[in-house]
Structure 1
Amino acid sequence: MNKNKETYDGVRYNRSALMVVILLGAFCIIMNQTLLITAYPTIMKDLNISLSTVQWLTTLFLLVSGITIPLSAYLMKQIKSKYLFLTALNLFLMGVLICYFGPTFKYLLFGRLLQGIASGIMLPLIQTIVLTLFQKNERGTAMGFVGLVVALAPAIGPTLSGYIITYFNWKTLFLITIPLILLSEIGALLFFKVSIPLKQSKLDIPSVFLSIIGFGSLLYSISLASTKGWLSKEVIVLLFIGCAVIISFIVRELKISNPLLNLKVFSYSTFSVSVFLSAISYIALLGFESILPDYIQKVHLESPIDSGLILLPGSIVMGLMNPVTGKLFDRFGGRFLIPIGLTLLSLGTFPFLFITETTPILFIAIFYAIRLLGISMVLMPVTTTGMNALPNDMISNGTATNNTLRQIASSFGTAVLVTFLSSHAQATPTQSLAIGSSTLAIKESLEVTDYRHAFAMAFVFCIVALISSLIIFRKKGSNTKKREKKE
């Protein structure tokens, strides 16, 4: 990281400048995931649409992004990194312009579709570029800077959105990203002189269709489960279709010579372990984050802007700590760092099991920050651990596979906690409360109890991840000692 000029595949380039360029492009696209959420009420009013309709702006974005990620592994091997990066930025820019100038909700939805495609290409691409250009003993630090962007961008989105909506038209949200996109494109033209090694192969069309139908059905069924429940007919049918098609996809990928995703990455045990820990950690992280703002707004009656500001310090801690934990990873590895991070995540989650209507906001902000401090010691280190186990020619498949499963895990975690919250709310009997309580007190008591139970579910995921990491790394430590004795 401290060298300006590096050589890769015989080409000299400015590695620091290239990092700034790709991280700037990633920041624009990742921030866009949460930029519109605060604006939903205003958009609903202006376009005269319902809540279930406006939520498609996020659902479609995440759905299309999840479908595109498996295809990214193939694209990275067919198109030079510079041109694929510019393609993603231009798709995103087109989506922004369509959203801004579009007169109806259909245009807004189409613009978000293009942005979802750009997102599905961008994150696996920048991770693969970073992992390819940096040596194994430098990857932790480099991925730490990627983690800084991944943490800060979505955290800034709702706060920035709330400010803009207060003083400007909601369509201004789309304009603010344009200068950053253009700056990133200019930087790519100037500094993007190297590329991930290409390997031309024929695209297997059946694999593409199986991937789209399988992952699309699975992600959509999970998103529906948060509103319709896991036992609804529609969710069960889509889950069955998604799982059945994904199994067919896996069987085909293992048989053909030109797979869309090379699933042989799972033959590397360290990579498989890292994907497992990453998925559970994401369930614990994003499921929790999906309901905490709701608790702050409904129980403490804070505005969306204020709830974003309450949680912002924790996101800043996570963002700033990512480069630090990256350096610690390069020095000590993930064997000790990851269990410590998961311990902090569990300790930061546990107090939320005892929240009340009068829990101080400072209490929420502090323990939320502890959670994200723990996450900063887990997500990028566990990803880097897995990728370091792969040969360079399989890294693009590794990043695409890891990001696909992470997308599914984050959707699953959110759906589980949201459905757990709503189903428990419906099942909680009001008769169990004291007869003398007022209607408002009953409602508040039920609400807080439901949130406590949902937070308890998040705590269970944290403990599962922690225990798994302790078992896994203990076994790996034992195996290492046995090999040393033999030698």
Structure 2
Amino acid sequence: MKSTEEINIRTKLSILAIGLLSFLGILIETSMNVTFPTLMQQMNVSLSTVQWLTTGYLLLVTIVMATTAYLLKRINVKKVFLFAVAINIAGSFLCAMAPDFLILLIGRLFQSASTGLATPTLFYIIFRTIPMQKLGQYNGFAAMLISLAPALGPTYGGILNNYFSWRIIFWIIIPILFIVLWIGSRNISLETKKEDLSFDFIGLFLLALILIGLEFTLTQFSKYGLDYRFQFSLFSTLVILFVYLVYDHFSSRHLFDFSILKPIVNLRLFNYFSLQAINIGLSFLIPIFAENFLKTNSLLAGLILLPGSLLGAATAPIAGSWYDKVGAKFPLILSNSLIVFGAFLLWIFTDNLTIWLIMFFYLILRLGFNLGFGNTMSDASKYVDNKKRADQSSLFNMAQQYAGSIGTAVMSAMIAFQSIIFSNISSSKATLIGGRLDFAILFILAILSLSLTIFCQHLIKKNNQSISNQ
């Protein structure tokens, strides 16, 4: 393992460049949430349609991330970075000048492919260049960028949408992307140990069908409830999932090396997924709740998340350093406990929520999230062979991105579903009832995540005892 003295300035700037590229992609993703009411009016589309700017983005990010385990074993990091920046710039121009919803969506998909390449590459560089005794600190920095962006996005989008135009959201980041390009092109030098592998196109196709199928199933639920269209979509997706599992078992080609998924890694992966589902779900739900039920403007709806965002940004690197000193047990249990408490408060007080209450409860949730998010992945890496770090980075980041997509889709579906149950229900009332269900779902997910985190610590203790007895 490399010594800490070998973390030179070029390595730090490489991490910064790819981290900023990932940050910008996620920032734009959530900055669009507060513009949905505006876009629905300007482009004459429904909430179930406009939310594809987020869920479609996250869906393609997830699919692209599935390819990075292969790409990072075959292509130098610098080439991956340059391509990611190029398609992000192209997508930003398309979005800024989009004459209709379709062009806007296409531009967002370009940007999603960029983020899908950038985020796993960020963690891959950290795993390859940072020593284990500093891993928590640097993963904390990466987690800060990834978790800060979703919460800052509504504030950023709300200010620009309220005072200028949603198009300015994209115009501002274009010059920043060129700065990122300059920093990365001058400093990224990590060479890939090229392996003789064949890409699993069939596996990627089946995986994409599964991910799209789950999203489509939730869309059918939000439009038609539990009728035959929802049932058929769910059944079809489960059939494709079965086909994929059989194919992967017998195929000689694999998108990932699933041998890394040992019990402890599986539990950490679920925790990682849950944390991001709650994080992105709330970043979508709270601005919608504030605008539709509390009748705030898009600026205030975005600003609600700002204090929690800043607290999270300050917490993540400190949490990483704490993990480096004391290990995973206390940071992760405290993290999940705070999330359970915050989600419980949002659920119990749904009918009486105010701007200030939401802001306070969200502070608790963000503190919990940032105590655990980066550390969860850091701890899982202890149980993964160095040669398989690309697989871990790809798999964990794919999971957290899809968690965001599913989280957004579920939050949206619960609100949209109210108009099916109750005829002539107002948008405000649908948001209240759907929001209450959403907060309850997040609370249950948080309890499950805490329970499995505690169980994981039991497995780690048992594993350590087994090793010491050998």
Q: 2-side partners of 1:71 and 1:392: how far apart?
A: 19
2:246 counterpart letter in structure 1: V
Aligned counterpart, 1:381: 375
1:335-414 equivalences in 2 (<5 Å): 335-355=329-349, 357-414=351-408
**96-105 or 272-281, larger mean C-alpha shift:** 96-105
Compute the displacement of 1:175 (Å). 1.0
**402-411 or 71-80, larger mean C-alpha shift:** 402-411
Aligned counterpart, 2:189: 193
What secondary structure is seen at the aligned counterpart in 2 of 1:301? coil
Q: 1-side partners of 2:217 and 2:401: how far apart?
A: 13
Pick one of 252, 269, 279 that aligns with 2:273: 279
> Rg: which structure is higher?
1
Compute the displacement of 1:391 (Å). 1.2
Q: 1-side partners of 2:150 and 2:195: how far apart?
A: 34
Compute the displacement of 1:288 (Å). 4.1
What secondary structure is seen at the aligned counterpart in 1 of 2:199? coil
What is the number of equivalent residue pairs in this alignment?
468
**Contact 1:253–1:263 (8 Å) recurs in 2:** no
Matched, 1:463 2:443: no
Aligned counterpart, 1:477: 461
What secondary structure is seen at the aligned counterpart in 1 of 2:133? coil
Matched, 1:55 2:39: no
User: Runs of at least 4 residues of structure 1 off by over 6 A?
Assistant: 443-447
Aligned counterpart, 2:152: 156
Q: 1-side partners of 2:97 and 2:299: how far apart?
A: 26
Compute the displacement of 1:80 (Å). 0.6
1:260 counterpart letter in structure 2: L
Higher relative contact order (CA 8 A, sep 6+): 2
Q: 2-side partners of 1:41 and 1:445: how far apart?
A: 16
Q: 1-side partners of 2:407 and 2:166: how far apart?
A: 30
What secondary structure is seen at the aligned counterpart in 1 of 2:6? strand
2:6 counterpart letter in structure 1: E
Aligned counterpart, 2:6: 6
Compute the displacement of 1:417 (Å). 4.7
Aligned counterpart, 1:433: none
Aligned counterpart, 1:244: 239
Q: How many percent of aligned residue pairs carry the same amino acid?
A: 25
Compute the displacement of 1:72 (Å). 1.8
Aligned counterpart, 1:126: 122
**Contact 2:96–2:171 (8 Å) recurs in 1:** yes
C-alpha offsets along residues 154-200 of structure 1, whole Å, 9 cap, x if unaligned? Answer: 22222222222233333222111111110111111111111343323
Q: 2-side partners of 1:340 and 1:203: how far apart?
A: 41
Q: 2-side partners of 1:419 and 1:265: how far apart?
A: 34
Unpaired stretches in structure 2, ≥5 consecutive residues: none
Matched, 1:28 2:24: yes
Matched, 1:171 2:167: yes
C-alpha offsets along residues 393-417 of structure 1, whole Å, 9 cap, x if unaligned? Answer: 2111112222233333333344445
Q: 2-side partners of 1:275 and 1:462: how far apart?
A: 14
Distance change >3 Å, CA 45–CA 24, structure 1 → 2: same
Q: 1-side partners of 2:429 and 2:189: how far apart?
A: 60
Aligned counterpart, 1:436: none
What secondary structure is seen at the aligned counterpart in 2 of 1:177? helix
**Contact 2:416–2:430 (8 Å) recurs in 1:** no
Q: 1-side partners of 2:248 and 2:329: how far apart?
A: 32
Matched, 1:253 2:237: no
**Contact 1:210–1:245 (8 Å) recurs in 2:** yes
2:358 counterpart letter in structure 1: I
1:81 counterpart letter in structure 2: V
Distance change >3 Å, CA 57–CA 5, structure 1 → 2: same
**114-123 or 218-227, larger mean C-alpha shift:** 218-227
Unpaired stretches in structure 1, ≥5 consecutive residues: 431-438
**293-302 or 377-386, larger mean C-alpha shift:** 293-302
Q: 1-side partners of 2:346 and 2:219: how far apart?
A: 25
C-alpha offsets along residues 351-399 of structure 1, whole Å, 9 cap, x if unaligned? Answer: 2233265544323212210111111122211111112311122111112
Q: 2-side partners of 1:248 and 1:446: how far apart?
A: 38
C-alpha offsets along residues 242-292 of structure 1, whole Å, 9 cap, x if unaligned? Answer: 3332333333334333322222221x3321121122223334444444433
**Contact 2:277–2:407 (8 Å) recurs in 1:** yes
1:480 counterpart letter in structure 2: N
What secondary structure is seen at the aligned counterpart in 2 of 1:193? coil
Aligned counterpart, 2:39: 43
Aligned counterpart, 1:217: 213
2:15 counterpart letter in structure 1: M
Aligned counterpart, 1:321: 315
**Contact 1:28–1:177 (8 Å) recurs in 2:** yes
Matched, 1:81 2:77: yes
Pick one of 86, 111, 114 that aligns with 2:110: 114
Compute the displacement of 1:17 (Å). 1.8
Matched, 1:135 2:102: no
Aligned counterpart, 1:435: none
Q: TM-score, normalised by structure 2?
A: 0.89
The two structures, once aligned, show a CA RMSD in angstroms of 2.9
Pick one of 90, 94, 97 that aligns with 1:98: 94
Q: TM-score, normalised by structure 1?
A: 0.87
**58-67 or 348-357, larger mean C-alpha shift:** 348-357
Compute the displacement of 1:142 (Å). 0.5
Q: 1-side partners of 2:218 and 2:34: how far apart?
A: 23
Distance change >3 Å, CA 447–CA 154, structure 1 → 2: closer
Pick one of 162, 171, 176 that aligns with 1:180: 176
Q: 2-side partners of 1:283 and 1:206: how far apart?
A: 28
Q: 2-side partners of 1:358 and 1:392: how far apart?
A: 50
